[in-house]
Structure 1
Amino acid sequence: MHSLLSVANSLLSGNKLSILIYHQVLEAFDPMRPYEVTAEVFDWHMALISRYFTPISLTDAAKYLEQGKLPDKAICVTFDDGYLNNLTVAQPILAKYKIPATVYVATAFTEGADMWNDRVLDLFNDAQLSSLIIEGESVTLGDWEKRNQLAAAQLMRLKYLPIDERLAGVQKLYDDNNLAEPTPRMMNAQQVKQLADCGVEIGGHTVNHPILKVLSPEQQFDEVSRCKAQLEQWTGKPVKHFAYPNGSYGKDLTDETVELVKKAGYETAVVTDWGTSSPGDDLLRLKRFTPWDSSAWKFHARLVKSRLTI
């Protein structure tokens, strides 16, 4: 089956680039993050793309796109946000299969504070807690399905608020429930440099991970340019690649945002809209996609299908 899919990929999807998007690679399954891959799953993902695709760096992908000719079955691996497990769990697996990768780092979360969304999820992740105070009311948590539904509602309530209001809303949840922060899960500046020294490309993901569209042009530019400067100082390497937070074109970013990212000096930028990229596409709006299937042949089939139809 894999061989047939590989042949179809070569014959029918030439000169296309797939970019896989990941966030965390967990040591073990987390019921509040069922969409995040474990080390076991990520290992067979990388084994599969190493055997049936051509993994390339994002820097090389940009060059090939500009030249008008990509390698057969070209694919890039990317990670958003800057989680510590990108270094401790994902990087050894990437090295095992000799796969290049890019990690986009939101720099405000390198000093011990977790991403706001992870702080919300962790409120619901303690199986010993049977209820939480949410917006002034005691809410029964129930099973993991109910906890995920409740957490999702809070994420949506807070996501599009201005940064200060969003963070204040998260802090209020902690204060109302008298709960301590969990162990930080993001890389610090030294660990970002360590990952860069392993050969992983470091990209920008803003400072505070805001929805850029809701900010003024001046605030947007500060977020994207300051992030770049910080990462270059930490790593001693040029930072050429960017990922838009949340990343849906039109909803989370605009043409003005794209121009500001270009002005800041980034050479490529990725969205979260599903698809592939071809020569002639805007390098500052590259699409991404990662199949979610739990079996290798379905994962392979969906990835090939995305290259044929999108």
Structure 2
Amino acid sequence: MLKKVIIFLIVLALLILGGMKFFEADYARFCDETVPIFAYHRVEYKDDVYTMPPEQFDQQMQYLKEQGYQTIKLEDYVQGRREGKVFHKTCVVIFDDGYLDNLTYAAPIMQKYGFVGNMFMAVKFEGWPGYLDWHTQHDLLRYGWAEGSHTFDHEPLTKMSPEEVDYELERSMKYVRGIYNPAIGIAFSYPNGACNDRIAAQVEKAGYIAGVAGTVGVNTNKVPLMQLRRVNVFQNKPEDIGCFIYELHKAQLISYIAQTGIDPGWLLAWYHRIRG
């Protein structure tokens, strides 16, 4: 009897170890093939959550380079999805609002690592102090970047009427096309990340090729192009690369769990509790 128990325990242990190895390999494959969209606003010497100090941003880009990541324009991600491409260590880096420091700090740092970015312009801010104007937007594009729309007035679309949403989408697309007009079309980033199915349908109907929403996660080929997930990158105290890595791993784990059909909301709740 004792011999049978020992054999059973050995078999059980082997099954558990085998399952763990399968999970480890499958999770590694998932992280390799999915595409994170890192969402920034500013790269500048200011002490607020939406502003990343240049040295910290440089450290984050260096980490991605050392991990074997390459960056692409969001439009190239869309094209790859349409062609059924399997991505490998690929990410997208976006900057919302249209700050001048995207040109003065972010672009040169990214160029150092062979990276490109995507700037989403909130059109009403054009030429305001600290924001890009018509000339500096063209200067940014010379770094190989892409430009997309972040609406005209930078207000959450979910709080607008359908007519107001259409006006925002059409007006801002017309502006962006006057500066950057790739054959595939223009991408979109939702102000405040605010999006729902109705708004996403209007964005698609307006002619945009993709939309980056506020949902935390990474992108598989099953994530709707009009509701792409993001990895929010905020300034952390202390300024530690570990915080950046943690945000990436959190997004990957949330999406890995979500593909099983299990609601990952509990993971986000747990994360916010431990962050205080």
Q: Common fold, TM-score beyond 0.5?
A: yes
* CA offsets 1:155-213 (integer angstroms, 9 cap, x no match): xxxxxxxxxxxxxxxxxxxxxxxxxxxxx111112211221232110000000101112
Structure 2 residue aligned with 1:243: 189
Which of the numbers 9, 20, 32 marks the counterpart of 2:38? 20
Q: Higher relative contact order at CA 8 Å, sep ≥6: structure 1 or structure 2?
A: 1
Go from structure 1 to structure 2 and tell me whether the alpha carbon gap of 1:111 and 1:16 turns closer, same or farther (over 3 Å shift): same
Correspondence 1:269 to 2:269: no
Note closer, same or farther for the CA distance 1:307–1:227 as it changes in structure 2 (3 Å cut). same
Counterpart position of 2:226: 284
Specify which of 28, 47, 59 is matched with residue 44 of structure 1: 59
SS at match of 1:273: strand
Matched, 1:254 2:254: no
2:240 to 262, 277, 295: 295
Return the offset for 1:64: 2.5
Alpha carbons 1:68, 1:280 under 8 Å: kept: no
Contact 1:77 1:102 in 2 (8 A): yes
Give distance in 1, aligned partners of 2:58 and 2:162: 41
Following TM superposition, by how much is the alpha carbon of 1:17 offset from its aligned partner in structure 2, in angstroms?
A: 1.0
Aligned equivalents of 2:242, 2:58: Cα separation in 1:
15
Contact 1:19 1:288 in 2 (8 A): yes
Seen in structure 2, the aligned counterparts of structure 1 residues 290 and 230 have a Cα distance that, compared at 3 Å, is same
Identify which of 214, 224, 248 aligns with 2:159: 214
Q: Structure 2 stretches of 5 or more lacking a match?
A: 1-24, 256-276
Return the offset for 1:8: 9.1
Correspondence list, 1:158-173, <5 A: none
AA at the equivalent of 2:135: Q
Alignment-derived partner of residue 72 in structure 1: 88
Over the residues paired in the alignment, what is the CA RMSD in angstroms? 2.2
For 1:286 and 1:295, locate their aligned partners in 2 and report how far apart those are by CA, in whole Å: 27
Cα distance, 1:290 vs structure 2: 3.3
Identity %: 29
Letter of the structure 2 residue corresponding to residue 210 of structure 1: E
Corresponding residue of 1:197: 142
SS at match of 1:308: helix
Q: Among residues 172, 182, 185, which one is paired with 2:130 in the alignment?
A: 185
Structure 1 segments unaligned to the other structure (5+ residues): 1-6, 113-183
Paired positions, count: 226
Q: What is the deviation of 1:97?
A: 0.8
> TM-score, structure 2 length as denominator?
0.75
What amino acid is the match of 1:39? P
Three-state SS of the structure 1 residue aligned to 2:228 is coil
1:236 offset after TM fit, Å?
5.4
